[in-house]
Every structure is written in C-alpha cells, then in structure tokens.
Amino acid sequence: MEEQVRLILKALGEDPDREGLVRTPQRVAQALTFLTQGYQQDPAKVINDALFTEDYEEMIVQRDIDFYSLCEHHLLPFFGKAHVAYLPHHKIVGISKLARLVDVYARRLQVQERLTNQIASIIMEKLDPLGVAVVIEAEHLCMTMRGIRKPGSTTVTSAVRGLFRRNDATRQEAMRFLHER
C-alpha cells in the first residue's frame, strides 16, 4: 500500500522523497488500515458474548452514536450520528454492543444506505426482536469539499424491520424517540 501511495504522490506532481512527504506513505497506509478495520471484525461475534435473556418487551433506544466512515465512491470521510431502537423479544444485548456494531460497519468502505441496512439486519438476525429501527444522519465530505460544495448539509437514512415496519403507531413512537432532543 505504501508504494501505491508513493505513486499517487508522484501522479499529483509531488516528490515523495521530500522531507514533509517521506513518511506519508507509511502514515496513509496506517490510517487506511485503521479506518477500514471493520473488515477484520465479525459483527456476529461482537454481539454473541453479550446476549441476555430478559422478560422485557419495551422499546430500547440508543441515540447519538458518533461514527466515521469512508465513502466508497471517493474515499472521502462521511460522519455523523446513528440512532438505534429495538423492541426485544426475550433477548437484550449489552448497550455498548449497539455502538460497537455501528463501528464495525462504519469502519469499511461504505454508502450510508448500506450502513443503515447492515446495522438493522444484524440486530434482527442475532437478537430476533419484535422490531428494529436505525436512523443515520451524516455529513459527506464528498459533497462539502468537492462537487456541489454544500457544507453543513446532512443526509438522513432509515431502516425499519419487524413491528416498526408493520405498525405505524409503533414506528412513529420509535421515530419520536430517535429524533427527540
């Protein structure tokens, strides 16, 4: 990867051997390895050691989970907040695991729509809840630094499964909790 970064620097018209750039290929390789570490993590294993049987079927909501990801189209960052709600069906998960799931999927080359769906799908698969809702609000630097250049604009995506999809009142309650401040 370092050699490829050197080639990119040359293609940009830079001298990769000048003082300020000598260690840049190594730094970029380390940064990209860190920013894409989600490929090395199994989301199912993140949950498995923290599933608990509990007689609880009321909504659980975790809001404002900060995340950072890389747009797969431009390799530029997008970042924001993920909000997760689920209605357990005799299984709950340790609350830190919801944030860890967001990180596992965010630390891959992504599009926001897929990220939202992946989080909702793994929760449905592993917890078998009555329903799950995931809302992600993000700012995309590919939109703010290049292209249309609209800093501060955000994109909102949602994925709803189970009872949240089938029952409008339940979905509205979840969305109210997810967006309340």
Active-site entry in 4, 40, 73, 179: 73
The residues, ordered by sequence, that sit 6+ positions from 101 with a Cβ below 8 Å of its Cβ are 43, 46, 47, 119, 122, 123
Taking Cα atoms as reference points, which of 95, 88, 87, 89 lies closest to residue 174?
A: 87
- Angle at 89 (CA atoms; ends 84, 95), nearest 5 degrees: 40
Give yes or no: 90 in active site: no
Does 2 qualify as catalytic in the annotation?
A: no
Find the catalytic residue in 71, 83, 118, 137: 71
142 tagged catalytic: yes
Can 112 be counted among the known catalytic residues? yes
Considering 83, 112, 118, 137, which one is annotated as catalytic?
Answer: 112
Q: Give the separation between CA 116 and CA 81, rounded to whole angstroms.
A: 11
Residue tagged active-site, from 2, 14, 41, 74: 74
| Residues 175 and 84: beta-carbon distance below 8 Å | no
Which of these is catalytic: 41, 89, 139, 142? 142
Catalytic residue among 83, 110, 137, 140: 140
- Catalytic site includes residue 139: no
- Establish whether 57 is a catalytic residue: no
Residue 71 known to be catalytic: yes
Say how far apart CA 124 and CA 128 lie, in whole Å: 5
Do the bridges between strand 77-87 and strand 155-162 make them parallel or antiparallel, or are there none, so unpaired? unpaired
> Which of the following is catalytic: 3, 72, 113, 125?
72
- Residues classed as catalytic: 71-74, 112, 140, 142
